[in-house]
Chain A
Amino acid sequence: MSKADWDVAVVGGGLVGAASAYYLSKRGARVLLLERRELNGQASGQNAGSLHFQIEQRLVSHGEAMTRQAATILPLILDAIERWRGITAELGETDLDVVQHGGLMVAETPQQVATLERKLKLETQGGLPTRIIDGEELRSLAPYLSNSVLAATYCAVEGHGNPRLITAALARGAARQGTAIRTWTTVTGLRREEGCWRIETENSDGSVRREYASTILNAAGAWARELAALAGVHLPVFPVALTMNATDAAPPFIPLLIQHVGRRLSLKQMREGNLLIGGGWPSRFERDRNGLVTTRAAYPRMESIYGNMAVALDVVPAVARRTLLRSWTGIVGITADQLPLLGEVPEAPGFFVATGGSAFTLGLTYAAQIAELIDSGRTPLDIDIYGPRRFGHLNAYMG
C-alpha cells in the first residue's frame, strides 16, 4: 500500500466525480481527479438541471414491475432532497441557482391521472411528500398551465439546480481541500499491481505519466463501460443522447418544475429568465464503421425539437411568446436495468463505480454514498441492490 501516491483516483470530471472528490477529500483522503477534457463538459453540464424527486415518467410507463423497482430508489431521493438543500452553504457559495420551490407532474388524460395515482401510492409508502391537486387549487398554483391539464401531483421540494454552476463549485471545493485536479488527461491503462492500481495517463500535450492509487472510482458516466474495460471488467452502462432546448429570457412566471406523466416534458425557468425545455427527446450519434461515435457531440433530431416544442406549447401555452434560442445534446449513461450503479466491483478489488440514470438529481447522493463506502466500508443507506455485483455474471470469466 505504501506505493500508492493517492488514496483515491477519481476518473471523470462531471458532477459525480467532482462531488466524490469533494466528499472524499473532506474525509481526509488524498484524491486525484482525472478528466480527459474539461470539467463539466458532458451530461453534468448539458442536462436540463431538474431536481425531480417524483418517480420518473420513464419508470412508471413500463409496467408494474418496473414501477415497483423504481420505488426502491426513494431512500436515495430523500437523501438527495436534503443534500441539494444544503449544498450551497456547504460549499461556501452564495448562489448556485439551486431552487426548491416545488414541482408538478401533470396529466392530460384520465389514464394519465390513474398513473399519477398509482405513482403517488408508491411515493407515499416510500415517505416522499407528494399529493394530487386539480381544479381551482391547481389553477391558482400554476395559472400558466393549459386547460388540457386535468390534474397533477405536487411535490413541494422539487425544483432545479444549475448544471452550469454546480460541478465547478464542487471542483473548487475539492481543490480547496487538497484534491489534485488534472484536466485534458486521459486514462490509458489501469492495472492491479502489488495491492494498488497502476494508472497510466496521457495529457493532451502528449506527456504521459504513471502513478498509483489504492482505489479507483469510476465516475465516467456514459463512458463508464470503456473505463471499466481498461480494468478488465464489464459494466453495462450505455450512452444515450438526449435533446435539450433553451428559450430566450422572460420575466419570472414559472417558479415550479413542470414534468409530464405521460408525455416527454420537463420545463423550468432559470434564474436568468430562460426556460429550459427537455423531457427525454432523443438526439442522434453519428455512426461509423465502429458503430456509434460517442466521443463527438451528438446532434438533436429535428423530430425531437418539433416534438418537444409541441408538448411544451400544449402544456404551457405562454411558451408560444418565446423564441427558441438553442437546442443541444447531453450524453447520459444508462445501465442495462435503469437502476443506479453504485459500489465496488467484486471481481476487481479497489475498483468502485458511481453512475446511473438521474445522476444530476441523485449525483450528490451517489457521490456521498460512494465516498463513505470507500472511506469506511459502510454506507448509511442500503445501496447493496445498486452494486455491480448484480452484473457479476458478466464478469465471471473476466480477469
Chain B
Amino acid sequence: MENSVDIAIIGAGPGGLAASETCARFGASVTVIDEQSAPGGQIYRQAPENLRQRAEGFGIAYVDGVAKANAVASISAIEWRLGHAVWNVLTPQRTQSEAFLISTVTDDGLSEIEAKRVIVATGCYDMPVPFPGWTLPGVMGAGAIQALMKGQRVVPGKKIVLAGSHPLLLIIAEQMLAFGERPAAVVFSQPMWRAGRLLSRPGVAVSFAEPLAQAARAYAKLLRAGVPVIFSGAVLRADGNDRVESVTLAHLNPATGLPQPDNTREISCDAVGIGFGFTASSELVRLAGAATRWSRTGGGWIAVHDGEMRSTVANLYVAGEVAGIGGAKTAAAEGALAALSALRDAGYGVDAAELRRARSNCRRNRAFAALLQELADPGDELLRALRDEGTVICRCEEITKGQVEELLGQNPFLGTSNALKLLGRTGMGACQGRYCSRSVLELISSATGRGVEDIGQFTARPPVKPVPIHHFGGGVRD
C-alpha cells in the first residue's frame, strides 16, 4: 500500500495522455502504462528514431499529436511504464487490500503496480469481419495497415485495396499517396448519397466542418491521383496462393444493400485493408468486474459509466474507445474528465467550472462520434452476407461458420458465448476471442433467437495477453 500510486492510467493514447497530464497538474502521483515503447497510442503511433522521416505525410493532426504526446512524456511528475502489456487487473475487493493490483509483462519479465485508482483507456482495434479469404497473408485490418505506416514507415503493398465502410479509409488512402503508393481501389459499402443525406441534417455540416473538410480534401486528392473510389461495393472474397493476389468485388443491390453475386469483378492486388469500424478493447474493464453493454455500432461491448467516466467498479474509471468508439478528440476529452473525477473522488479540490467545461467538451465530441458511427455503420445484414459455410470464424482455433452452426444444431441447449467457447473452442486461442466474439454472438443469436445481453460475451480471463511461462521462473519485479 505504501508503494501504491494515487492513479494508474492504462493506455498512453489520447485518452490516457490527457488523463495523465490532468493528474500531474493536480500533483497526484501517477503511473502511465502502455504496451508500446513510445506514447501516442495507435493514432499517434511513433516510429523508431531512425525511421521518423516523412511524418508530415500523416497530416498536421498526426505531427501535432506526436509532439503533444512527447511533451506529456517529458513531464517529470509522471512515471512511465512503456513496453508493459497489462495482463491482469485485480480490484481492491479482490486483492483484499486498499489498492488495485495491475500485473504487466515486458520483454524482460513480470512486474506489478499497485494503485488506489485506475483509469482504463485501452482504445480499440479493427472490427474483425470474416469473409472467404480473410485469413490469407496480406489481408489485414485497415488500422493495422496504418499502424505499419506510422510505426515502421512501411506501406505493406504496391497495389492495396482498401474496403469497408469507415471514412478513415479515405484518410489512409491519402496517407499512402503521401508515401508514394497509389491504392488499387477504395471501396465503400454505402451508396454515395448516404453521406450527403447525413450531412444535410440541420447543424451537422457547420458543427463538424473540420473533419468533413478533411475527408473531402482526401477524396478530392484520391480522385486527382486516379484512385478508383467505389461506392455500393464490397469485397466478397480474397484469393491467392501463399498470399492475397486478388479480390472479388461485388456491386451491392441499392435496395437491399446486399451483394449481387452476378455483378462482380476481380481486382488484382497485393494487400487488402478492411475497415468496417472498430471494436473497443474492453477486456480489462470486464476482467475487473465492471459492467459493459452492447453497442452494435459503437464498438461492441463497451464500458458502462456514470457520465463522468466512473465505471460500475469503485475507483475504476474509463476513457475513450472503451466507453464507445469516438476518435482521438473524444478520447482526450474523456481522459481529462476521467482524471477530474478520479481526482475529485480522491479529495483533490477540482474547480466546478473546470468540471463543467470537461463535461460539455465530452458531450460535444460524443455528438460527432455518434454521427460518425451512423455514417460508418455497414449494417449487420451485409456483414452476415459476406461469410459462407467454410469461412473461418475463430482464427486461432480455425473454426468455421459451418462448424459453429453444426454444434448449435446438435446442442439445442447451447445459448451463450461462453458455452459455445467451451464446447466449440471459439475464443480459446491466443486472441482471447477478440477476433470471433462478434461473429459468435451473431451466430448464436441467429440459431436461437436469444437476445444479445442473454448470449453475453466471453468471460475475460487473465492473462488478457499471453504471457511467456519462463517469466514465472524469475519472480516479480516492482
Contacts and interface: CB of A to CB of B under 8 A. Distances in A.
A312 B422 CA distance: 24
Contacts, number: 101
A327 B464 CA distance: 10
B419 A39 contact: yes
A184 B23 CA distance: 46
Q: How big is the B interface, by class?
A: 35 or more
Nearest to B475: A306
A195 interface: no
B466 interface: yes
A306 B461 contact: no
Interface in B444-478: 454, 459, 461-463, 466-470, 472-473, 475-476
A297 interface: yes
Interface string B358-398: 00000000000000000000000000000000000000010
Nearest to A312: B469
Nearest to B93: A286
Contacts of A39: 413-414, 419
A319 B462 contact: no
Interface in B404-437: 410-411, 413-416, 418-419, 422-423, 425, 428-430, 432
A302 B88 contact: yes
Given A38-B413, A168-B423, A325-B429, A302 B101 contact: yes
Nearest to A328: B461
A306 B414 CA distance: 34
B90 interface: yes
B94 interface: yes
B314 to A, nearest CB: 13
A327 B422 CA distance: 14
B462 A248 contact: no
A395 interface: no
Contact of B469 (A41, A165, A320): A320
B416 A38 contact: yes
Contact of A319 (B103, B112, B469): B469
Interface in A293-335: 297, 299-300, 302, 305-306, 309-310, 312-313, 319-328
A247 B470 CA distance: 12
Contact of B423 (A164, A204, A323, A326): A164
Contacts of A310: 472-473
A284 B91 CA distance: 12
Interface string B92-108: 01100000010100000
B418 A41 contact: yes
A33 to B, nearest CB: 10
Given A40-B419, A183-B415, A302-B101, A325 B466 contact: yes
Contact of A299 (B90, B419, B425, B470): B90
A172 interface: yes
A320 B103 contact: no
B413 A181 contact: yes
A37 to B, nearest CB: 8
A248 to B, nearest CB: 6
Q: Which 6 A-B pairs have the closest CB atoms?
A: A309-B472, A320-B470, A323-B466, A324-B467, A38-B419, A326-B461
Interface of A: 38-41, 45, 164-165, 168, 171-172, 181, 183-184, 204, 246-248, 272, 284, 286, 297, 299-300, 302, 305-306, 309-310, 312-313, 319-328
